[in-house]
Amino acid sequence: MNVSHTSAGATGLRLRRLGIDTYQQSVVYLRADAPLVRSEGFEAQSRLEVRHLLQPQRRVTATLNVVHTALLAPDEIGVSEAAWRALGGAEGDAMVAEHAPPLVSFGAIQSKIFGRPLGRDAAGAVVADIAAGRYSDIELAAMISACSGNRLDEAETHALTVAMIAAGQRLHWEGPVVADKHCVGGLPGNRTTLLVVPMVAACGLTIPKTSSRAITSPAGTADAMETLAPVALDLPALRRVVDRTGGCIAWGGAMQLSPVDDMLIRVERPLGLDSDGLLVASILSKKAAAGSTHVLIDIPVGRTAKVRSMEAAGRLAQRLVNVGRQLGMTVSVEMTDGEQPVGRGVGPALEAADALAVLQSQPDAPGDLRRRALLLAGYLLELCGKAAPGSGLVMASNALSSGAAWRKFQEICEAQGGMRTPPRAPYTRALCAAHAGRVAAVDNHALACAAKLAGAPKAPAAGLVFHAPLGTVVAVGQPLLTLHAESPGELAYAMAYAEHQEHLVTIVEAP
Amino acid sequence: MNVSHTSAGATGLRLRRLGIDTYQQSVVYLRADAPLVRSEGFEAQSRLEVRHLLQPQRRVTATLNVVHTALLAPDEIGVSEAAWRALGGAEGDAMVAEHAPPLVSFGAIQSKIFGRPLGRDAAGAVVADIAAGRYSDIELAAMISACSGNRLDEAETHALTVAMIAAGQRLHWEGPVVADKHCVGGLPGNRTTLLVVPMVAACGLTIPKTSSRAITSPAGTADAMETLAPVALDLPALRRVVDRTGGCIAWGGAMQLSPVDDMLIRVERPLGLDSDGLLVASILSKKAAAGSTHVLIDIPVGRTAKVRSMEAAGRLAQRLVNVGRQLGMTVSVEMTDGEQPVGRGVGPALEAADALAVLQSQPDAPGDLRRRALLLAGYLLELCGKAAPGSGLVMASNALSSGAAWRKFQEICEAQGGMRTPPRAPYTRALCAAHAGRVAAVDNHALACAAKLAGAPKAPAAGLVFHAPLGTVVAVGQPLLTLHAESPGELAYAMAYAEHQEHLVTIVEAP
C-alpha cells in the first residue's frame, strides 16, 4: 500500500551503519517499538523507501528487518552495507522511511509466468527497476525462474539485452573495428585472455578488454591480471591505456557496464538456474556496452564444464550470433574441448604465471594453453579482417614467437600502472596418486573447489598446480596436483577436501 | 560444496541472540574476520548448517550475513529470531557451523522450470526439505514461480497436497463424518465461521474448526474469535472442547497442520503469484490434516475479491473437488457474491460483534452476514447427510432462531476457556459522503487497507464499520464508514489514507 501522500513517514530517523553485509540486497533495521513502525504498519519483510530528509534524491529501496533488542535506539534506522553504499551520508544523518511504491514492472514478470511473452517496453521497465535496486531478492528469483528453462525466445532475449545495455554506461571507441573475446567459462585455468589480448594488439587490433572478478570460480581474468598490473581503471585511465597500446585487460566492475547483469548473476548462481536467453543477454549486453564490434566467444564443452553437450552448445551459439547481429555486432563462436583444465595453474597468481611462461616462450610453458590462445587469437584476427581467412593462426604465432606479444603485454601492464611479479604461496603440498595407471577423467568442479578452499581468489597466491592431464601415465606416489596456500590452515583444509574427492582425478589401469 | 567430512567447522562459537526479525528465513551473523569464515570459505549469502556442539540434533539451516563491525565478537555467532527459535538453547551456548549439505530436492524444481512434471517422490522430497527449513527465500520464490501460472496439473497438485499433509501433524476423530468449511477469502468481514460452526454443531455435526490468523487481511477468523474466547488450544484441549460440544473455533497455528503451507504463503503473498494448484494444495492439505471428511468451500467472486471471474472460480472448484476426492474427502464448492464486504465490521472485535448480533438475533444484526451464514450452514448440513437435500437451510434457520446456535456458541467459548466481551475502540471517526448519490462500487482492498492502518489486527478493537453497501442512497455528509482505533495517531493515519482513496466507495448520481 502506497501511503506516500501522508507525512507520517517524515519523522526523522538517525542513520546508523550496522556493518552487516547482506550481499547486494539492501536491508534496513528498525526497532519494533519505533513509533514509525506502528504508525506506518511496517512489518518484517516490508519493502521500504528510505531517503535523506534533506537530500531526498539520495534514496534506496530496502527490505525491513524488525529489531526487538537494544541493538538500535527507537529513533535509529540501521542499514546494511549495500544500503549504506547506496545512501551515502554519515552516521546520525536524518532519514525518512515510508512504504516503497508498488513495483509496477513486476506485473510483466507475473504475466511471463502465466505464459505471456515479455515485450520490449516491459523488458525495459523490468531492467530499469532492477538497476535502481527496486527488486527484492525473491522478486529477482521469480524473474530468473520465469526466464529460465529456455522460456525466452529470440525477440525477448534481444529486448532484455537492449534494456540491460541501456541500464549502464556505454563506451565508444574510434575506428570501425573493436575486437573482443569472451569465454562462457566453467574450466579451471584457461586464462587465454592474458595471451589473446597482447597477441592481437601486437597485430594492430584495438581490443579494450574488460573482465570480471571471480564469482564462483577460483579466479576471474581480472583477479589473475591484478597479480601482474593494476586493473581497477576508471574510464579516462582505460582510454589512455588503449590509446597508447591498442589494448588493455581491466576490471569491468568499476565501469558500470550492464550492471543489471551482475545483479542477476548473484541470484542465478545459488539457484543453479541457467537459460540461454539470460546467458546471451548477459554476455552480449556487456560486450555491446564495452563498445565491441567483433566478438569471438569460446564455449568449452565437456561433461563437467558449464556447457555439457554439442547440442546445447549449438543452440547457445545460434542465439549468440543472431542476437549479436540484431545489435549490430559480428559475433563468432568457437567450441573448444572442456574436459579438463587448460594450463597448469588454478588461482590468480598461478594462472598469471602460466600466461607469462607462454608469452616469454619458456620451454616448460603449458602447451595446451599456448595452443588454445593461438587458435582463438587466429580466429579473432580473421573475424576482424586483420588476417586473411586461414592465415590468422600464422599471424598470431608470429606475434608470439617474435616476442611482439610479450613486448605488447609489458607495454599494457606499464600503461595500466606498472608491471608486478605475481606472489608465490609460502605453503604448498602435493596430492599424490594412490595407485598407478592412466588419467581417464578430471572433475573440473572439484578442482575449482579445492583451489577455492586453499584460499583463491581472495589469497592471490593460493590455488593449485595441476600435473595430471588426461592420458598421463602415473606411478604410485606421483604428484597429481600441488596445493598452494597463504596459511597452513587453508592448506590443510583444502588437502582434506581433495583427499576425499574420489573423482577429482580418475586413474584407470594403464593398458 | 559439502565439506562436512572435515572438522574445521567444529570450533565452538558462542550463540548470541541479536533480536533481529528476518521473518521466517533463518539468518546467522558471523564476523568477517572470524577464523571460521576464512577457513570454511564462507561468504555473504552462504547457506550454513548451524548446530549445538553438545546437542547436534538441534540444528538449523540459515543464510549467512557477514558482519564488519564490533556488533559481534569474532567467536560469536549471531542469530535471527527464526534461527533462535529453531535452535533453542541459551546465550553463550557452544555452536558449530559448516556449509549446508547440497539441497538435492531443488533439482526437481529446476527440472520443473525446464518443463518436466513434478513427480510424487520429488514433491515429497521438496516439501520435506521446505518443512525442515532447508529452502532459502530465493529457492522458495523459484519453487513458487515454477508452480504458478497454472503449471501444476491435477496429478502434481495431488502429489504436493499429499506431501504437505505428511509434513505436519494429522488429527483423527471418531465417527465417519467430520464437517469443515473454508473461505478462499478476499472479502473484508465475512466472518461466517463464527456462525456456521455453532449452527451445524447445534444440529449434531462434529466440526473441529481450525482457522488462521490474518496474514495480509485486517482479521483472520482466529483473531476475531480470540476477542470472544481463547483460541491457542493445544491438541488435548482441542479434543476436550470437541468431545464436550461437538465443535470448536481454534487457531490452527499451534497444531502444525500442514506447516509448509504457511511457509509458502509467506513468499507467495509479496510476489502476488497465485496458482490454482498451490491454492488447492494449501486448502486441502490443511483440511485433510485436520481430519475433515466433508468440506464446504466458499469462493467469493467479485471484481476486487481474490477470485475475479466465474470462469476462474469454476476451474478452481473443479480442481478442489477432484483432488479432494482423491484424498478421500467429500468437497463441495459454493460460489458467493464477492463485490462488497459481508457484515458491517472489519477488524477482530468489530467482526466478532457482528457475529454476536446475529447469534443473539438482535434486530439490527447485519442481514447479509446472517443470510450467507445460513446458506453455508444449510449446504454443509446437506453435504454431511444431516439434512435431506433442500432442507438444510430450514434446519440451520431453526438452530439460529430457537437460540440453539447461540447456546452452542456460548458452550464452545466456555469449553475453550471462558467467554469474553470484545473490546471497544476508544477513538472513532466517520468518513462522510462528499456528495449525494447511490453507492455503485466498493473497493475491498482499499477498505482492508484502511482497517489495517487503523491498527487491525494487532489492535483487536481497531478496524472500521461499513455503513454503505451497494445500492445505498446517501446524502452529503452521511457517514460511509466509521474508523475505530486504539490510538489517536492510527486513527488520523487511517483517515488520511481513506480520504485519499477515490474509489473506496464509488457514489454515482441517484437515478
Q: What is the tens place of the pLDDT at every residue in A16-31?
A: 999 999 888 899 999 9
Nearest by CB: B39 against A21, A266, A490: A490
ipTM reported for the complex, 2 dp: 0.85
Q: Treating both helix axes as pointing N-terminal to C-terminal, what angle do B193-202 and B348-359 enclose, rounded to 10 degrees?
A: 30
pLDDT, average across residues A370-377: 97
> Is A142 close to B140, i.e. CB distance below 8 A?
no
Put simply, the answer to whether A496 touches B6 (Cβ < 8 Å) is yes
Which has the higher per-residue pLDDT, B264 or B416? B416
Q: Check CB contact under 8 Å for A68 and B19.
A: yes
Q: Chains A, B: CB contacts under 8 A, how many?
A: 181
Q: Which has the closest alpha carbon to A166: A212, A210, A135, A120?
A: A120
Exposed (0-12), middle (13-18) or buried (19+): which is A488, by Cβ within 10 Å? exposed
The three cell numbers locating residue B345: 465490521
Task: Flag the least confident range among A112-121, B255-264, B310-319.
Answer: B255-264
CB-CB under 8 Å, B449 with A1: yes
Span B466-480, average pLDDT: 96
B104 touches chain A (CB under 8 A): no
Q: Where in chain B is the domain with CATH 2.40.40.20?
A: 8-99
Residue of A nearest to B35 (CA): A489
In Å, what is the CA distance from A88 to each residue of A9, A76, A257? Answer: 20, 16, 22
Residue A510's φ and ψ, nearest 5 degrees, are: -70, 140
User: Does the pLDDT of residue A70 top 50, yes or no?
Assistant: yes
pLDDT for B453 equals 87
Collect all residues with Cβ–Cβ distance below 8 Å to B421 and sequence separation of at least 6. none
Chain B residues within 8 A of A71 when measuring between CB atoms: 18-20, 71
Distance of CA A100 to the CA centre of its chain: 30
Helix (H, G, I), strand (E, B) or coil at A439: strand
Taking domain B179-255+271-415, whether its CATH number is 3.40.1030.10 is answered by: yes
Peptide bond into B457 cis (omega under 30): yes
Tell me which CATH homologous superfamily contains domain A427-508.
Pyrimidine nucleoside phosphorylase-like, C-terminal domain (3.90.1170.30)
In this complex, the residue of B65, B80, B453 whose CB is nearest that of residue A21 is B65
> Alpha carbon A18 to chain centroid distance?
28
Between CA A272 and CA B138 the distance in angstroms is: 11
- B22 close contact with A: CB closer than 8 A: yes
SS3 helix, strand, coil % of chain B, rounded to 5?
Answer: 40, 20, 40
Please tell me the predicted confidence (pLDDT) of residue B266. Answer: 84
Convert A109-140 to b/e letters by CB count within 10 Å (16 or more is b): bbbbbeeeebeeebbbbbbebbbebbbbbbbb
> How far from chain centre, in Å, is Cα A289?
15
pLDDT > 60? residue B7: no
Using alpha carbons only, how large is chain A's radius of gyration in Å? Answer: 25
Q: If contacts are CB pairs under 8 Å, which of residues 469-498 in chain B contact chain A?
A: 489-490, 493, 496-497
Asked if residue B163 lies in contact with residue B123, where contact means CB atoms within 8 angstroms, the answer is yes
pLDDT in tens, B174-225: 889 999 999 998 788 999 999 999 999 999 999 999 998 887 789 999 999 9
Residues A472 and A506: their CA atoms lie apart, in Å, by: 11
Instruction: Return phi, psi of residue B389, to 5°.
Output: -50, 130
- Long-range pairs for B389-396: beta carbons < 8 A, 24 or more residues apart: B395/B203, B396/B199, B396/B200, B396/B203
Q: Which amino acid is at A167?
A: A
Contact B203, B196 (CB under 8 A): no
Is the CB of residue B172 less than 8 Å away from at least one CB of chain A?
no
Secondary structure class of A17 (helix, strand, coil): strand
Q: Which residues of B touch A61 (CB under 8 A)?
A: none
C-alpha distance from A194 to closest chain B C-alpha (Å): 27
Q: How far is CA A184 from CA A137, A300, A334, in A?
A: 25, 7, 11
Which pLDDT does position B11 carry in this prediction?
Answer: 55
Q: Which residue spans of chain B are classified as CATH 3.90.1170.30?
A: 427-508
Contacts of B116 (CB under 8 A, 6+ apart): none
Q: Minimal Cα distance from B271: which residue of A?
A: A139
Contact between A166 and A77 under an 8 Å Cβ cutoff? The reply is: no
Instruction: Give, as one character, the DSSP assignment of residue A461.
Output: T
Answer yes or no: do B18 and A452 touch at CB < 8 A.
Answer: no
Alpha carbon distance B327, B160 (integer Å) = 12
Look at A202-206, A290-294, A431-435, B99-103 and tell me which has the smallest mean pLDDT.
B99-103
Q: Report the residue from A40, A115, A497 with minimal CB separation from B6.
A: A497
Chain A neighbors of B139, CB-CB under 8 A: 141, 270-271
- Looking at chain A, the whole-number percentage of residues with pLDDT higher than 70 is 98
Class of domain A179-251+287-416: alpha beta
| Contact assignment for B452 to A270 by CB distance below 8 Å | no
Rounded to an integer, the average pLDDT of B353-370 is 97
Residue A490 predicted with pLDDT over 90: no
Pairing of the two strands A247-251 and A207-211? parallel
Region of A340 on the Ramachandran plot (φ > 0 left; ψ -120 to 50 alpha; else beta): beta
Whether B113 has a pLDDT exceeding 80, the answer reads yes
- List all residues of chain A from 273 to 302 with a beta carbon under 8 Å from chain B: 273
Q: In chain B, which residues have their Cβ closer than 8 Å to the Cβ of A66? A: 20-21
State whether residue A453 sits within 8 Å of chain B by CB. yes
pLDDT in tens, A36-67: 887 777 877 889 999 999 999 999 999 999 99
- From B139, B161, B190, B127, select the one nearest B276 (Cα to Cα): B161
Domain B8-99, what fold? Barwin-like endoglucanases (2.40.40)
**pLDDT band with cut points at 50, 70 and 90 for residue A215:** confident
Hey, how many other C-beta atoms are within 10 angstroms of the C-beta on B274?
20
The cell numbers describing A217, all together, are: 570460480
Range scoring the smallest mean pLDDT among A92-101, A473-482, B401-410: A92-101
Region class of B196: left (phi > 0), else alpha (psi between -120 and 50), else beta: alpha
Checking if the pLDDT of B34 tops 80, the result is: yes
pLDDT at B326: 97
Residue B72 burial (10 A CB sphere; 0-12, 13-18, 19+):
buried
Question: What is the Cβ-side half-sphere exposure of residue B408, based on CA atoms within 13 angstroms?
Answer: 29
Is residue A192's pLDDT more than 60? Answer: yes
A138 CB neighbours in chain B (<8 A) are 137-138, 140-141, 267, 270-271
> What per-residue confidence (pLDDT) applies to A4?
39
**Which of A31, A113, A134 should be substituted to probe chain B, the one whose Cβ sees the most B Cβ atoms within 10 Å?**
A113
Q: Which residues of A touch B497 (CB under 8 A)?
A: 1, 3, 6
How many residues are recorded in chain B?
Answer: 511
Interfacial A residues in 375-434 facing B (CB < 8 Å):
none
B35 touches chain A (CB under 8 A): yes
Cβ atoms of A31 and A37 closer than 8 Å: yes
CB contact under 8 A, A141 and B141: yes
Nearest to B22 among A32, A44, A113 (CB): A44
A158, A183, A475, B329 from A366: Cα distances, Å: 39, 19, 22, 69
Rounded distance, CA B87 to CA B89, Å?
6
Q: What share of chain A is helix, strand, coil (3-state, %, to 5)?
A: 40, 20, 40
What letter represents residue B491's amino acid?
A: L
Min distance B13 CA to chain A CA atoms (Å): 18
The amino acid occupying position B48 is L
Nearest alpha-carbon partner for A385 in A335, A332, A334:
A332
Nearest CA to B458 among B249, B226, B257, B233? B226
Higher pLDDT, A16 or A270: A16
Asked if B66's CB is within 8 angstroms of A453's CB, the reply is no
Distance between B146 CA and the closest CA of chain A, angstroms: 7
3-state SS assignment for residue B279: helix
Please give the mean pLDDT across all residues of chain A. 92
CA distance B4 to B12: 15
Q: Is B129 considered catalytic here?
A: no
User: Are the beta carbons of A114 and B149 separated by less than 8 Å?
Assistant: yes
- Pairwise CA distance, residues B361 & A401, whole Å: 101
What integer is the mean pLDDT of B42-63?
91
Q: Tell me the backbone φ, ψ of residue A427, rounded to 5 degrees.
A: -120, 125
Show the cell assigned to B278: 498451490
Q: What are phi and psi of B413, to 5 degrees?
A: -60, -45
- Residue range B9-25: average pLDDT? 83
How many Cβ atoms sit within 10 Å of the Cβ of residue A464?
35
- CATH code, B106-166: 1.20.970.10
**Mean predicted lDDT score pLDDT of chain B:** 92
pLDDT at A301 over 70: yes
Q: Which of B129, B261, B262, B274 is catalytic?
A: B274
How many angstroms separate the most distant Cα atoms in chain A?
82
Which segments of A190-337 are extended strands (E)? 207-211, 247-251, 294-301, 330-337
- What was the pLDDT predicted at A9? 43
- The Cβ of residue A445 has, within 10 Å, a number of other Cβ atoms equal to 16
- Give B6's contacts in chain A (Cβ within 8 Å): 493, 496-497
Report pLDDT digits (tens) over B320-331.
999 999 999 999
Contact B271, B144 (CB under 8 A): yes
How many C-beta atoms surround the C-beta of residue B2 within 10 A? 12
Contact A142, A113 (CB under 8 A): yes
Question: Rounded to whole angstroms, what are the CA distances from B503 to A40, B443, B444?
Answer: 21, 6, 10
Whole-Å CA distances, A323 to A320, A397, B136: 6, 32, 34
Interface test with A, best of B21, B458, B502 (most A CBs within 10 A): B21
Separation in Å, CA of A340 to nearest CA in chain B: 19
Active-site residue numbers of A? 274
Quick one: CA torsion of A8, B347, B353, B361, rounded to 10 degrees?
130
Mutate to test the interface with A, among B24, B29, B45, B486 (most CBs of A within 10 A): B45
B272 in contact with A at a CB cutoff of 8 Å?
Answer: yes
